[in-house]
């Protein structure tokens, strides 16, 4: 077989392999591990997903605790030992 015969054979086999991989990955019998959202026992999304991080983000900052310093620029809670804000890197106040 000459060079062009090998090149054509390679291209045909490569295209066939790509088609087999595509059909394997796009099969109708996808496993549950490939689902993008978790599902409860009845197939719907579970209701008990906790969103504590979102609640903490929108809750009122704790201004009564002396070990916490609020950033005057962005409002982030920082520890008492911080000189600069850990979020916006602005100075927290008088040094």
User: How confident is the model over 58-84, as pLDDT tens digits?
Assistant: 556 555 777 888 888 888 888 889 899
* Per-residue model confidence (pLDDT) at position 1: 75
CA distance 39 to 45: 4
User: Quick check: 52 pLDDT over 60?
Assistant: no
* Per-residue model confidence (pLDDT) at position 45: 59
How many Cβ atoms from other residues are within 10 Å of residue 85's Cβ?
20
* Per-residue model confidence (pLDDT) at position 70: 86
* Per-residue model confidence (pLDDT) at position 62: 56
């Amino acid at each position: 077989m000459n060079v062009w015969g090998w090149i054509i054979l390679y291209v045909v086999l490569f295209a066939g392999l790509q088609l087999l991989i595509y059909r394997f990955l796009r099969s109708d019998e996808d496993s549950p591990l490939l689902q993008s959202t978790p599902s409860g026992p009845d197939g719907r999304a579970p209701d008990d997903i906790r969103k504590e991080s979102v609640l903490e983000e929108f809750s009122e900052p704790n201004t009564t605790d002396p070990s916490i310093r609020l950033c005057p620029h962005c409002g982030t809670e920082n520890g008492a030992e911080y000189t600069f804000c850990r979020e916006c890197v602005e100075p927290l106040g008088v040094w």
